[in-house]
Amino acid sequence: MASALINVPPSARRGEIIQIKTLISHVMETGYRRTSLGVVIPRDILRLFVCSYNGEEVFRAEIHPAIAANPYFAFNTIATESGTLVFTWTGDNGFSATESVAIRVE
């Protein structure tokens, strides 16, 4: 089950640098671990995280097995205009989650 926590300031001044923080539930199973019987636990990780702001990509991260479970990303962008931030995580086994958050710019 995908669930994400996203922290975006609800409003900002035009031109202000804002910080965005995201957390998502994910096991991030590396594919390198084995069970007590020696069977490899198949890899199940997120591969990509993208944030777009009114359709324009403002942040992208490629994700690899060394990233811990429940990945946390914090990044900055410039508040240009009111609109929507769309966050997308994609990964192994067809994983895909999308969340959107509105921002008001004055």
Partner 1 sequence: MRLAGFFVFALALAAIAGEIPPSERHSGYELMRPETRAIQDDDAANPAMLWVMEGKGLWNERPNPGAHACADCHGDAGVSMKGVAARYPAFDVAAGRPLDLEQRINLCRTIRQRASAFAFESRQLLAITAYVARQSRGLRIEIGADARREPFLAAGREQFQRRRGQLNLACNQCHDDNWGKHLAGSLIPQAHPTGYPLYRLEWQGLGSLQRRLRACISGVRSEPYDYGAPELVNLELFLMWRARGMALESPAVRP
Where does this chain bind partner 1 (CB under 8 A)?
3, 5, 7, 21, 23-25, 27-28, 68-70, 72, 74
A 10 A CB-CB count for 12 gives 19
Q: How far is the CB of 5 from partner 1 (least distance, A)?
A: 6
Q: Where are the beta strands (DSSP E) in 14-92?
A: 17-24, 46-53, 56-62, 72-78, 83-91
Q: Which is nearer to partner 1, 67 or 79 (CB)?
A: 67
Sequence-separated contacts (24+) of 32-37 with Cβ below 8 Å: 32/65
Task: Determine the length of the chain.
Answer: 106
Q: Which is nearer to partner 1, 24 or 79 (CB)?
A: 24
Q: For tokens 């895909």, what's the residue?
A: 96
Q: Which is nearer to partner 1, 21 or 104 (CB)?
A: 21
Q: How far is the CB of 9 from partner 1 (least distance, A)?
A: 11
Q: Which is nearer to partner 1, 27 or 41 (CB)?
A: 27
